[in-house]
Chains A and B, each alone.
Chain A
Amino acid sequence: MTHHPNHGLTRSLNRIVETPAALEALVDAAIGPLGLHRFGHDHDHDGDEPASDVEADVLAAVRERAGEVHETLAHDHGVHCVEFAGSTGGGKTLLLERLIERAPDDERIGAIVGDVAGEDDATRLRQLGVRVENVNTGKECHLDPMLVSEAIESFELEELDTLYLENVGNMVCPADFPLGATCRVLVVSTTEGDDVVRKHPMLVQTADLVAINKVDLAEAVGTDVDRIRSDVETVAPGTPAFETDAKNDVGVDALADALEDGREHDHGEGDHHHDDRDETDHHHHESESAHRH
């Protein structure tokens, strides 16, 4: 399971604890039978950032890694990175295919496709002439920024304009695991029922855009698309929702345009998203700016 053991983190953790830990140990020895190391919330070590939280907090460390992926892709190489998350069978791959079909001939596109097993999705995208890295997560039910970080090493980033990430079909775990994309598109489909957004609120709150797919089937399956829309607004105010029918290629233009608007962020807005590092959800802060600034 330790396929990404974060040795670097452990090393710097040791560094952080050394000086204060020795002091604490002396205090502990004087007042009690137990040695205790308590991590400070605002441990201003070295006077720069609240490093102790990122290093003691497993999920904050994940967000930090996602921030690094974003830095590498968007800021160092000008690659526009868009993630598709959503349940299995919701239409993530077909929407991706539709977007790739629309792309100008000179747009250089890559994709990282996560699945627990197999490479069906990767094969579909390769047929469109896209460079695809397939990531089989095995025991893990979601992509994480460490896996993405490894996968992007196989791309020549200077030669990419757009990188799509297709997450593992999962409506739960990706909420805790931002990947570092500029934009996370959450695909929900009418066949999942019109309560799908209310059942998975925290994932919806990490999305920058919601695509309500298979709208052509809404009536047949008795799903009220307006209810999904209003739930998105309740759960994650201000998140744009697009209605798509990827199979018949309906509604995809509007989604494609919104994603293109987000591309400008990668080149134009500097580093403001690092202002409140570790205090806020990195991914969200960064990616929100693609659409809200």
Chain B
Amino acid sequence: MHELSVAMGIVERALGVAEDHGAERIERLTVELGSATHVNPDQLRFCIETATDGTPAAGATVEIERVAPLARCTCGWEGDPGTLEAAMVYAPDVRCPECGDRTELVRGRECRLAAVEFPDEASPTEGPRPG
């Protein structure tokens, strides 16, 4: 439901990176999307493609990599939280298999721009700009 605003955030970040590299065009965007979010990967791809229209990222290949959740418990247990069987849709099981306490998700809730690729000729050859 909120893929468009999330996509615009991703595109904004990617364009910032391209500008910083002096790139006129972005060829590929890679986004890591946690499974424990309500962001739909197909819709996110569509929204990113739409949001890049008329920008240096127009026509870029959009890769969405799913990130499996990782849970951590105060008892020291850490691992795949597994899936709630009672749930009618995907949801992590946040009960610790060791001690029964509630775990904290340390991975699986991200929607992050992982990589931006652009044509080689656009790579900056000068040193970092002052800033």
Contact = CB atoms under 8 A, between A and B. Distances in A.
Contacts, number: 177
Interface in A226-252: 231, 234-238
Contact of A56 (B13, B19, B28, B34): B13
Contacts of B84: 201, 234-235
Main secondary structure of the interface of A (DSSP, over half): helix
Given A28-B123, A205-B91, A235-B84, A35 B38 contact: no
B101 interface: yes
B38 A175 contact: yes
A263 interface: no
A17 B86 contact: no
Contacts of A36: 115-118
A14 interface: yes
A33 B116 CA distance: 14
A58 interface: yes
User: For this complex, into which size category does the number of interface residues on chain B fall?
Assistant: 35 or more
A56 B4 CA distance: 16
A216 B8 CA distance: 44
Interface in A55-82: 55-61
Contact of A10 (B4, B13, B37, B116): B13
17 contacts: A1-B8, A6-B9, A13-B13, A18-B20, A25-B123, A28-B120, A35-B117, A39-B113, A56-B112, A58-B113, A141-B1, A172-B1, A173-B38, A176-B2, A176-B109, A199-B87, A201-B89
